[in-house]
Structure 1
């Protein structure tokens, strides 16, 4: 909303030129009045004369009613308009609820704006609805005031006194639909504060005929996917005229077989009717759902019409919970089922809800359910499953030590689970937590747990069948308890082995069979298998396999709103996208994930995403970047979040690279290793070794960096991945006096597999070119510089490209010509490629969109550049912006 305010001030503020008429359009309570007030305050403070009036429907047919209240001292229109036009300062006239303004007043005000040229006046109008009121002049500029985005809505809600948390908070955000007024009213409802706006809707509804009020109650009670036909069936009528009063009043819209409430509080007010009527509505909707063969809707309404414990209703809810594609809805249904379940089976039912809430990712909700659960049972399998859900969510919120303690203590207290599939589930989650923390103590504890469970040696096909039979309808509980899928058990075992550094990733990945996943359905077992294969491939530096599996899993989880489950794949997926040059895809992915992570309180995920944003802006050479101002945030303890700490160190080093501060870059990169050179994180730290070497050479710290390189070699062992082999060759050529430097550079460049990591290859070529030029081998240096520059421009790495151009000029290469307009000479496909390249997409990403090979895209660009008189992607962007 602050963006709307700034736009309005630019259009009609003190610095704006000429008179203007602006109209704010939006639903009731969306924030129009707040914007009017803010504009008035800012304008008055800048010396503008502000006149404002609120219109009322009762005066709509009273000529000049609004104008008389706008100028209360002056009795008639002529004097009023003269008073405004003769004012010595600029004038701003604000009219709220202009849809209720009388036409003569509106005509006079618009005439005033047109006539005041020496001392311009502007008008700012606001109206409810989707369309501009009749009678406005054609020059009116319309600004639509949209609902708040999810993060802004959550921030507004959380700023209220005693706001709701957990499930009630998420339900409130869903109901409010980004409407600030609805958000505050519903929050007031939660805290028993008065509901002013909702009472206005209630008065309107009370004036409708009884049959319309009943229809609105049923519409408010219906599920979102229950359309007009289902509601009419429950009402027992086909007479659509019952909706006419509500439609005429603008309360609902009947269109496309749906009944839509125009305002969230309209739905809430329609549903506030006596209990007997509400329960009757649920019973009628349940009967209609049964007749239409919709079991999920029937289970929902039957449960809502139930008083007290009802095992049959609870069982129906559990059986249909996952019929919804929305994980939040499934978790809410399972939470409701637990409330309806008797004491004997309630603990098992709570585990269902816990696992679903963990998939959503809200820690407050998970904590609340877990606290209720631990008072209900000591069943070993259930306790461990509940601990898995709680620990996974704690980890996303940054509490790694608490998460690991909870998980391993739950397993240790129940020695009967020392081996078997459920123990493998516990060990897998514990390994993921240790990987995030990076703490040696955490790795040691996971190894001990693995040894006791026999996880690293073999996995028996036995099952732990202690979960109550009511859980058999729930796939999550069944899968995590039994793991009765040989491929899944094998792959999870491989994952734990890789994370705990017991097996080299390159060795493990060869024993898996990832191509088979392309034809598998996305049930939970296959999803877990997909994630496990992707994670092993990520650690084995096999980006093609990792990306294929992570992307499929991400698409599946994002479509279902499983933000907590999705959060576990975001960092490795973004790592891979950045490393392989898919920066546009990485940027879009991080942006969409950040909103949900912030709303759900996944603090370490938010911090990781901000680190990725800083890294991406730095490698692109963002001119406005201030890398020193970015921080991980106060909610993340970096001491127990080593992976996040490493990502921030790498991001700050990249920002220092961009500004040419080699000493600062070395300081941040060196922090990825202990004082004696050991990697702080076994996976993330070693992959910075080449950048550490570059910064060391530029800042004169080669001796210290050489010691780090030796430790990295030892840590990688005899079977490093291809990527690590190339990075260590590059670092050795820069740091190791015992290495033949030219041989080191050539070994770092000879393997064509290195093209998978284009930025790292470009940096290697740059280092080699500098070495060649120092040896007066200028021609060979130019070849390396040209190849590196082509990659840097394709990626959109402005800082690296500028450094390469500077080095090329020093090598005697002429600079590129300025861009010129020649787009019309290109074919339609070539123009499309130009636009996509200018937007920052790589050749590979363009090829994936247009079904072309990256080589074909590169060939097109090679032919396009001379036609346009450009030599880089940044010049393409400038050319399009100039056009």
Structure 2
């Protein structure tokens, strides 16, 4: 075995040869044959000619009756409906949940025999739950030949994640996208069933990827059938995560009723027991099928016939484990040794187990353990027939026996090059301190990290910390574990690890980095006040020992202050940055410039020497980090360069998409979508915000989710969709309110006020915007209050409340005079003067309209022209009024701003000229995702390319594309490109 392959490589290949099973192959015309997996890596079975019992000892725990498992009619109906939907390319996810032995696996087996489905199977193993992508490899190994059909970035990420080749650490979302593409390829020719057992024990990396796939198979002929054991304190997070999937069908699997107990007993023993015996057995076992089958094995014929009393009731654990232990107890010592090492090593490779157990005469011993029904041999691996059998054998052994078994396995696996697995076995056999073993676990963690197995790395670092002899090493490893948990998206676990490390962290460097982890977790969850406090505290601890890290934390504190809407905190950050060692590296120089621009630009103070700052800020975009590139865009805006801002946002999107960094996209799309909305590009804004919201929810980025919902509310308000605006605004408020996210709360207020303005509710709009101007941090935001000044002035002018907006007009005029002001700010101030009327109003409105159009702000330009047309009509300058009203109407219609177009049309009719209806091209009828997809198609992108950009499967792209065709009145890609390329580029320039 190659030493750089993961320890489970050989075990996962066990589908190659299974005695008694005819080999199958997956074939597509242009591809090499791909073996259909059997055994632990998957199986395909077709048809059934006779009824069989289903159990863990060569029999099944339930019997078919009329083709349906006894007592499982309702559950099977749900599964059958999901199978039928999958045949029609309507992907489904079904979750079977229940206690051990209740028959979940039997239902998976029954589903796997459905004709016409390609079946892949995988089973979670408790001992593998901290091994990155162990379950995913077991599931997807048969599909690896399809890797050549994937985009190169996805294929490379999958190969690195599965340990097939070395490479830089792939983004975990890119790995998941590669898994999705593999699943889509496998379902190309026939429907695909993923039968996944014991999901509560799946490793985190595999589970995250599985959930990613499950969210994106709605248009795929794929059924994910998952079974999870409900057991207090075990796997709760996994079950909850699956249950939260949109559209998941949950099927609780409980015990059998008395009548079905009797039918099952008849199937097992060949004769139906008396009703009283069936009732008593149902009462003692709670109808658990596995418990029933195992109890029957130890009952005498007289007990089964009702002539002798049944045993006293036992606990569920005892009921299920006792029969297994009784079978193991009668085996010879060598066979029991083999069973124990098999329980300690779930991979099951027989030659490894036999060598570790010191077995002589393997054929004889193997026959004995198979006869017991506790294990089965598939030609390569020796596997327990049920997890409870394994748990019973392992738990019944003494601590010394278990430790010796792990040490023997470690020695064998180390000799075979399975180094990581050997280290874990040594760790399982060690109770005290062992610095050498801790160092070895560091190596395991690092190799997991390089494969994007951050959760597995966290587990290895945490176990290494337990084995460390010094407090310093324990803190270092707990910090590394927390950092890895954070990268895995396990915020709660990261916090717990930090809490373990903080009391024993003595030096400022360790304490500062721990505080930084807490700060980032708080920031990601939207707790921006706490995040700001922690960022500053961490920077204070690090300023002398690691100035670069301190500057990094202060840069992140800027972000927290901005989301809180408390720009006065920027002065506090600036003071904290003073005295730091001079920036040396390009990154440090950029961060120093970012801090200075943030303090002055966001707070409307002039920057003394922007030339040097601009040079240092330019370094940030070359770092290749989407988040940092967004900061470059924000800095450009603060220095009066809105064009540069948008260029940086576009570049940040390209960086994130090229790297497959889906975790970064929500933050990037927040800024891009808001800028596009302000520019009047509502289609692009809406599609970007919806994409970002979906990814933010998946990665539990509450801060981004709230802001993206607020942006969607703003877009809906501007185009006049009141229902959508209020829905998104309420959802955004639910996130932002408890977290004091001033930016999001202010954006929601602006959206609601713009809705009121568009619908003619002027007094309500003024009330909202006046309150926003004086709102405290956490509820408002000074920059948003500044940007919405034209809305406030227009609302006040129409409500005849202009006396209330003097301070707001003075603020925007002062900001327009600042050196760092954007050209748009000066034009907005001019627009506001024109809205207030008086001498020079016509000239001000005309100047604003022309200038805003020149800056690429068509909505503002159209609104200024509308106001100018209204003013001219009131002054009886009808001919000039019509010219501007006509231009305003065309502008609103081209943007899809329906309510504004209606107002312009009414004004135009009042001037004596009819208003022409907007040309309907079908683009406005597209959903946000359809709009994104047809835009890419219009640029010549293939479905696979589009899928990679949008983190979808190619079939999902195809599904949305064919829904878009009739809306656009086209029937092919060629027609779409020839008719809509220009319009789509203008409408969706994201």
Q: TM (normalized to structure 2)?
A: 0.54
1:345 aligned partner: 473
Which one of the candidate residues 734, 741, 753 is aligned to 2:842?
741
Distance 1:844 1:65, change over 3 A: closer
User: What secondary structure does 1:453 align onto?
Assistant: coil
- 1:718 and 2:845 equivalent? no
Q: 2:807 aligns with which of 688, 703, 707?
A: 707
Q: Secondary structure at the match of 1:274?
A: helix
Matches within 5 A, 1:768-807: 768-774=868-874, 775-776=877-878, 777-793=880-896, 797-807=897-907
Contact 2:686-2:928 within 8 A present in 1 as well: yes
Per-residue deviation, residues 511-569 of structure 1 (Å, max 9, x unmatched): 25759957x6x6xxx56644543443465533432323432454478747xx5x76654
Give deviations 1:302-322, integer Å, cap 9, x for gaps.
655654443222321342242
- Alignment-derived partner of residue 142 in structure 2: none
Q: CA deviation at 1:571?
A: 3.4
In structure 2, the residue matched to 1:511 is: 615
Contact 2:753 2:769 in 1 (8 A): yes
Unmatched segments (≥5 aa) in structure 2: 1-59, 81-105, 117-192, 200-206, 216-228, 255-285, 295-316, 356-361, 396-400, 942-964, 985-990
- Give the Cα separation in 2 of the matches to 1:337 and 1:739: 75
Task: Pick closer, same or farther for the CA change 1:334–1:763 going to 2, 3 Å.
Answer: farther
Aligned to 1:660, what secondary structure does the other structure show?
Answer: coil
What residue number does 1:408 align with?
536
**How far 1:836 sits from its partner (Å)?**
8.7
CA contact (8 A) 1:398 1:604 kept: yes
Q: Which residue of 2 aligns with 1:693?
A: 793
- Check conservation: 1:745, 1:768, Cα contact below 8 A: yes
Residue 842 of structure 1 deviates from its aligned partner by 10
Q: 1:487 Cα shift?
A: 1.8
* Pair 1:626–1:578, CA change in 2 (3 A): closer
Report how far residue 182 of structure 1 moved: 10
Q: CA distance change for structure 1 residues 498 and 425 in 2, over 3 Å: closer, same or farther? A: same
Distance in 2 between residues matched to 1:638 and 1:590, nearest whole Å: 22
Which residue is 1:858 aligned to? Answer: none
- Which position in structure 1 is the counterpart of 2:281? none
Structure 1 CA distance for aligned equivalents of residues 352 and 455 of structure 2:
26
Question: How far apart, in 2, do the equivalents of 1:161 and 1:57 lie?
Answer: 18
- Equivalent of 2:721 in 604, 608, 622: 622
Please tell me whether residue 551 in structure 1 is matched to residue 649 in structure 2.
Answer: no
1:838 aligns with 2:926: yes
Q: Are the aligned partners of 2:211 and 2:242 in contact in 1 as well (CA < 8 Å)?
A: no
In 2, the alpha carbon distance for the partners of 1:500 and 1:688 equals 22
Q: What are the within-5 Å matches in structure 2 for residues 528-607 of structure 1? A: 529-537=628-636, 539=638, 540-541=641-642, 542-552=644-654, 554-555=656-657, 559=661, 563=663, 569=668, 571-580=670-679, 581=681, 582-596=684-698, 600=700, 603-607=702-706
Q: 1:420 to 1:703 in 2, by over 3 A?
A: same
- The Cα of 1:439 is off from its aligned counterpart by 2.4
From 504, 522, 535, the counterpart of 1:394: 522
- In structure 1, the residue corresponding to 2:544 is in which secondary structure? helix
1:694 positional shift: 2.5
SS of equivalent residue, structure 2 residue 513 = helix
| Distance change >3 Å, CA 498–CA 348, structure 1 → 2 | same
**CA 1:789–1:617 in structure 2 vs 1: closer, same or farther (change >3 Å)?**
closer
Structure 1's 838 and 363: CA in aligned 2 closer, same or farther, altered over 3 A? closer
Give me the whole-angstrom Cα distance separating, in 2, the residues matched to 1:173 and 1:58: 27
Superposed CA deviations along residues 614-662 of structure 1, whole A, max 9, x for unmatched, are 2343334336347288265566556843222212212322333454322
Secondary structure in 2 matching 1:691: helix
Give 1:6's aligned residue: none
The correspondence for 1:681, drawn from 781, 791, 808, is 781
Distance 2:194 2:882 in 1: 59
Question: Is contact 2:482-2:517 (8 Å) kept?
Answer: yes
Q: CA deviation at 1:432?
A: 1.9
The CA RMSD over aligned residues, in Å, is 6.0
Other-structure match for 2:578: 451
Distance change (3 Å), C-alpha of 1:286 and 1:668: farther
Distance 1:555 1:514 in 2: 21
Q: Give me the whole-angstrom Cα distance separating, in 2, the residues matched to 1:307 and 1:734.
A: 77
Question: Shift of residue 489 of structure 1?
Answer: 1.0
Q: Which residue in the other structure is 2:914 paired with?
A: 813
| CA separation of 1:839 and 1:425: change in aligned 2, threshold 3 A | closer
Residue number in structure 1 paired with 2:224: none
Aligned residue for 2:53? none
Cα–Cα, structure 1 residues 635 and 537, in superposed 2: closer, same or farther, change >3 Å? same
Cα distance in structure 2, aligned partners of 1:394 and 1:569:
19
Map of 1:325 onto structure 2? 452
Number of residues paired by the alignment? 660
The CA distance in 1 between the partners of 2:759 and 2:442, in whole Å, is 62
How is 1:282-431 mapped onto 2 (pairs within 5 angstroms)?
A: 303=427, 307-309=431-433, 310-342=437-469, 343-360=471-488, 362-412=490-540, 416-417=544-545, 420-431=547-558
Aligned positions of 1:830-869 closer than 5 A = 838-840=926-928, 847-851=935-939
**Deviation, structure 1 residue 443:** 2.8
Is 1:662 matched with 2:789? no
**Deviations, residues 51-97 of structure 1 (Å, cap 9, x unaligned):** xxxxx98674589999xx99xxxxxxxxxxxxxxxxxxxxxxx8554
Q: 1:818 to 1:501 in 2, by over 3 A?
A: closer
When residues 95 and 379 of structure 1 are mapped into structure 2, their CA distance, relative to the original with a 3 A threshold, is closer
Q: Against the structure 1 CA distance between its residues 260 and 399, is the aligned structure 2 distance closer, same or farther, given a 3 Å change threshold? A: farther
CA distance in 2, matches of 1:574, 1:586: 6
Task: For 2:803 and 2:508, locate their aligned partners in 1 and report how far apart those are by CA, in whole Å.
Answer: 54
Give the whole-Å Cα distance in 2 for the aligned partners of 1:632 and 1:718.
Answer: 35
* Equivalent residue, structure 2, for 1:11: none
Distance of aligned partners of 1:610 and 1:182 in 2 relative to their CA distance in 1, 3 Å threshold: same
Q: Secondary structure at the match of 1:439?
A: coil
With normalisation by structure 1, the TM-score equals: 0.59
Q: 1:424: how far off?
A: 0.9
Match of 2:987 in 1: none
Cα distance in 1 for partners of 2:527, 2:475 equals 25
Q: Pick one of 730, 739, 753 that aligns with 2:831.
A: 730
Paired position in structure 2 for 1:120: none
| Deviation for aligned residue 1:127 | 7.4
Q: Secondary structure at the match of 1:416?
A: coil
What secondary structure sits across from 1:624 in the alignment? helix
SS of the equivalent of 2:726 reads coil
Return 810-819 or 695-704, whichever deviates more. Answer: 810-819
Give, in whole Å, the separation in 1 of the partners of 2:242 and 2:714. 36
Q: What's the CA shift for 1:402?
A: 3.0
- Change in Cα spacing, 1:771 to 1:587, as seen in structure 2 (3 Å) is same
Q: Deviation of residue 493 (structure 1)?
A: 1.4
2:862–2:891 CA contact under 8 A, matched in 1: yes
1:652 equivalent among 728, 735, 752: 752
Contact conserved, 2:75 with 2:251, CA < 8 A, in 1? Answer: no
Aligned position for 2:564: 437
CA distance in 2, matches of 1:281, 1:100: 40
> Structure 1's 171 and 131: CA in aligned 2 closer, same or farther, altered over 3 A?
closer
- Compared CA separation, residues 509 and 807, structure 1 to 2 (3 A): farther
Rounded Cα–Cα distance in structure 2 between residues aligned with 1:596 and 1:308: 39
Quickly say closer, same or farther: Cα 1:673–1:218, change in 2 above 3 A. Answer: farther
Residues 665, 692 of structure 2: 8 Å contact kept: no
d(CA) in 2 for partners of 1:297, 1:535 = 47
Q: Output aligned runs, 1:495-510, within 5 Å.
A: 495-501=594-600, 510=614
1:499 positional shift: 2.1
